[in-house]
């Protein structure tokens, strides 16, 4: 291999021709890998089963066949079966090479990914680290597979991102990106890194930059894999999420529905399908269509419960979404039960628990149980402030709610404090015409008016009226105009 491949097909053609001792079974292994990357799982499995039937049970390539079969099962959602295949692969490989041989790394990486999907995060982290140590050991340094090392860094970064350890997450994602210059420019592994970096930017509320990286990832995938590949659906979901955070719900729904269409055609993993149902439900919820939102959130919850281990974080999020929708429909007792079920799950990251506390607080406020509402809002604020960026929109959301609850309690000092905090965050992270920013102007204007700061209140209400009018938010426009008249009347007295 004297030159760098200039495209993905050339890259795999090179892999197919550069086989150990030119053995035909090595070519079949590479062909199966190519078909698997292209999501042609049925034909890939056919070649792998052919190899298992033809090779002696103690042949050195049997381990790779088991590993590749594990990947096929995992990709199609049969994760427990995949774990069994990976363990058979490791047992077979141990009969042929030392424990630190570089061929262990890709099998361990696949096993780690299966553990991660089963919510066995500590085991996944240990497996990834073991694989990375093998790949970087002195005996392997000359023959290190840069693509494999990049994949391991990406996977480690994903775990640290889930654990809200953003410094380690970024370090691992950047390490992955630095190694990927040996790959073709449209290799799917590059798309993984771009997607991961975009998720970090999203956590920091840098939505425009996150959208750019997700779009690059989508373009890479569309030029390198089949149009119905699950990774394309995942990236469409990611882009939809960015548009949702930027308050472009129509565009978000378009991307979510395109992702769902791909997943339905390609028989995607249950977990991925549930995630898309959940995303679509969130759009319906934001649009005030509680009935459609409930249908989609209940579908997501049912899928998570049948396909994931109990006490999984995804189940908790789905429970909270159903609870929040029931609250919107006025079914408060049912909503509280779903929130309690969500909070009973022990493995929740703190920011997820904080968001659920925020939802519970909103329910208590609706029920006029102000002290309970305040308690849960403060719990939410504490958790989100500790584990998210200080200017994250979710922190602003809780600050807005605290401002409102303190106004309900006639504590205008605290109401103004949290109202200002929310407005500073929203002004820094949202577009100038964002709906939530208009709401913030409105809320802050009324608090300032109650504190006798009429001139500043009028400035904020004018901004609220402008945004509501230019963005066709007619209900908000009317509310803003009424608030404006109220402030002007009080100012003239």
Summarize the confidence of residues 301-315 as an average pLDDT: 89
Share of the chain above pLDDT 70, in %: 85
Residue 478 within a domain: yes
The model's confidence at residue 467, banded by pLDDT at 50, 70 and 90, is confident
Residue 450 within a domain: yes
Distance of CA 251 to CAs 56, 236, 242, 257, Å? 54, 11, 10, 10
| pTM, full prediction | 0.67
What is d(CA 426, CA 119) in angstroms, rounded to the nearest whole number? 34
What is d(CA 444, CA 483) in angstroms, rounded to the nearest whole number? 11
Residue 239 within a domain: no
Q: What's the pLDDT at 26?
A: 57
pLDDT in tens, 432-462: 888 888 888 888 888 888 888 888 888 888 8
What is d(CA 485, CA 375) in angstroms, rounded to the nearest whole number? 34
Q: What's the pLDDT at 29?
A: 66
Residue 161 within a domain: no
Q: Is the pLDDT of residue 10 over 80?
A: no
Q: What's the pLDDT at 40?
A: 67
pLDDT in tens, 106-128: 899 999 999 988 888 899 999 99
Q: What's the pLDDT at 22?
A: 42
Q: Is the pLDDT of residue 97 over 70?
A: yes
Q: Is the pLDDT of residue 45 over 90?
A: no
What is d(CA 13, CA 277) in angstroms, rounded to the nearest whole number? 38
pLDDT in tens, 157-212: 989 888 878 788 888 888 887 776 666 777 787 888 889 888 888 877 788 889 99
Residue 73 within a domain: no
Torsion of CA 288, 289, 290, 293, to 10 degrees: -120
DSSP 453: -
Residue 232 within a domain: no
Distance of CA 6 to CAs 10, 11, 186, 221, 301, Å? 7, 7, 9, 16, 44
Q: Is the pLDDT of residue 141 over 90?
A: no
Summarize the confidence of residues 42-54 as an average pLDDT: 73
More confident residue, 461 or 367: 367
What is d(CA 140, CA 100) in angstroms, rounded to the nearest whole number? 9
DSSP 316: H
Largest CA distance in the chain: 95
Return the top range by mean pLDDT from 242-251, 425-434, 476-485.
Answer: 242-251
- Domain count of the chain? 1
| SS (HEC) of 82-132 | HHHHHHHHHHHHHCCCCCCCCCHHHHHHHHHHHHHHCCCHHHHHHHHHHHH
Q: What's the pLDDT at 253?
A: 97
Please state which of the ranges 278-287, 324-333, 374-383, 385-394 shows the lowest mean pLDDT.
Answer: 385-394
What is d(CA 78, CA 91) in angstroms, rounded to the nearest whole number? 20
The model's confidence at residue 31, banded by pLDDT at 50, 70 and 90, is low
The model's confidence at residue 51, banded by pLDDT at 50, 70 and 90, is confident
- Residue 313 has, within 13 A of its CA and on its CB side, a CA count of 16
Residue 266 within a domain: no
Long-range contacts for 436-440 (Cβ within 8 Å, ≥24 apart)?
Answer: 436/247, 436/393, 436/396, 437/467, 438/463, 438/464, 438/467, 438/468, 438/471, 438/473, 438/476, 438/480, 439/400, 439/464, 439/476, 440/396, 440/400
Q: What's the pLDDT at 19?
A: 42
Q: Is the pLDDT of residue 2 over 50?
A: no
Q: What's the pLDDT at 347?
A: 77
Signed CA dihedral, 387, 390, 392, 396: sign only? positive
Residue numbers of the domain that contains 469: 436-492
- Six-digit token string for 269: 């993993």
Nearest to 180 by CA among 220, 146, 212, 153: 146
Q: What's the pLDDT at 17?
A: 42
């Amino acid at each position: 291999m004297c030159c760098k491949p200039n495209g993905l097909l050339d890259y795999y053609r090179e892999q197919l021709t550069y086989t150990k001792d030119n053995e035909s079974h090595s070519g079949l292994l590479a062909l199966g890998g190519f078909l698997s990357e292209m999501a042609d799982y049925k034909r890939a499995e056919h070649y792998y089963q052919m190899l298992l039937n033809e090779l002696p049970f103690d042949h050195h390539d049997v381990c790779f066949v088991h590993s590749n079969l594990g990947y096929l099962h995992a990709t199609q959602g049969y994760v427990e079966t995949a774990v069994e295949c990976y363990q058979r692969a490791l047992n077979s490989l141990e009969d042929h090479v030392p424990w630190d041989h570089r061929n262990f790394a890709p099998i361990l990486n696949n096993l780690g990914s299966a553990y991660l999907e089963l919510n066995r995060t500590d085991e996944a982290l240990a497996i990834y680290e073991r694989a990375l140590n093998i790949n970087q050991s002195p005996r392997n340094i000359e023959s290190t597979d840069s693509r494999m090392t990049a994949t391991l860094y990406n996977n480690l970064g994903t775990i640290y991102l889930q654990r809200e350890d953003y410094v380690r997450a970024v370090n691992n994602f950047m390490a992955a990106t630095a190694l990927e210059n040996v790959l073709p420019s449209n290799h799917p592994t590059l798309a993984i890194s771009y997607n991961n970096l975009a998720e970090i930017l999203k956590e920091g509320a840098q939505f425009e930059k996150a959208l750019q990286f997700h779009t690059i990832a989508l373009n890479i995938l569309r030029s390198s894999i089949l149009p119905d590949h699950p990774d394309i659906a995942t990236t469409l979901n990611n882009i939809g999420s960015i548009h949702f955070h930027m308050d472009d719900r129509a565009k978000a729904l378009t991307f979510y529905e395109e992702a769902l269409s791909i997943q339905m055609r390609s028989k995607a993993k249950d977990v991925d399908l549930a995630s898309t149902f959940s995303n679509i439900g969130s759009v319906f919820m934001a649009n005030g269509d509680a009935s459609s939102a409930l249908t989609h959130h209940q579908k997501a919850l049912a899928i998570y419960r049948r396909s994931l281990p109990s006490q999984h974080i995804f189940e908790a999020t789905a429970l909270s979404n159903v609870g929040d929708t029931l609250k919107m429909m006025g079914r408060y007792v049912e909503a509280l039960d779903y929130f309690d079920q969500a909070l009973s799950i022990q493995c929740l990251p703190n920011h997820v628990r904080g968001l659920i506390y925020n939802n519970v607080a909103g329910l208590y406020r609706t029920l006029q149980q102000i002290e309970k509402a305040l308690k849960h809002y403060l719990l939410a604020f504490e958790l989100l402030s500790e584990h998210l960026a200080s200017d994250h929109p979710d922190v602003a959301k809780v600050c807005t709610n605290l401002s409102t609850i303190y106004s309900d309690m006639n504590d205008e000092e605290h109401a103004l404090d949290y109202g200002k905090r929310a407005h500073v965050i929203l002004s820094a992270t949202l577009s100038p015409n964002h709906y939530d920013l208009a709401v913030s102007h409105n809320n802050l204007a009324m608090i300032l008016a109650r504190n006798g700061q009429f001139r500043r209140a009028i400035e904020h209400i004018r901004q609220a009226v402008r945004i509501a009018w230019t963005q066709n938010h007619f209900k908000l426009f009317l509310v803003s105009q009424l608030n404006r008249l109220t402030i002007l009347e009080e100012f003239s007295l």
